[in-house]
Amino acid sequence: MSNNTIPMIETKPLSMIINGEKVGPMDVPVDMMMIDFLHEYLDLTGTHFGCGQGICHACTVVELQADGNIIESRTCIYGAHFFNGKNIITIEGQAGKDAEGKATLTAIQQAFIDHFAFQCGYCASGFVAAATVFIDRLKKQPIQRVNLESAIEDALNDHICRCTGYVRYYEAVRQVALETPGCVIG
């Protein structure tokens, strides 16, 4: 007599806030990566899977922390359950809405378009997340103008662009930093 039982996939409840909306609780496999959860369960495919090792940062989202700060979080190296109870913003949640319900781009998104700061766009969502975190940090801790270039480099350094659009990304972030009141002093 053969044993034809199919192994069960272990799941557990998962809840979080994504792009301002409560998600869950829903049963999610315990070993599912966050990038797969976003794509397969929520149809949020703007966050891209790149290297699968957390090196390229294409999979980066913004995580809102309880203290009001925001940080970058990679979704290809952390399981979905790592984000249980957390509050994240994917690229789909970056833009706002005007009074008529039309999407309005953030200053970062608009600057990336104005500077054509991407070619294929695969890495763009990760760069948007990094730049958003960077500008938020500058609003809370402004820097001297003379230190801006190195600060941008530090903020974006871990993100890889296969098309080598770095100069345009940096130019776009510089523009936003200089045009956002209180980010740069001196």
Whole-structure pTM value = 0.91
Handedness of CA 119, 90, 82, 36 (dihedral sign): negative
Range 11-93 classified under CATH 3.10.20.30: yes
The CA-atom distances, in angstroms, between 51 and each of 12, 76, 77, 177 are: 27, 8, 10, 29
Structure tokens at 161: 């662009």
Sorted by sequence, the CB contacts under 8 Å of residue 152 that are 6+ apart come out as 134, 170, 173, 174, 177
Look at the domain 96-185 and name its fold. DNA polymerase; domain 1 (1.10.150)
Residue-wise pLDDT for 83-111, tens only, equals: 999 999 999 999 988 889 888 999 999 99
Residue-wise pLDDT for 24-83, tens only, equals: 999 999 999 999 999 999 999 999 998 889 899 999 999 999 999 999 999 999 999 999
* Residue extents of the structural domains in the chain: 11-93, 96-185
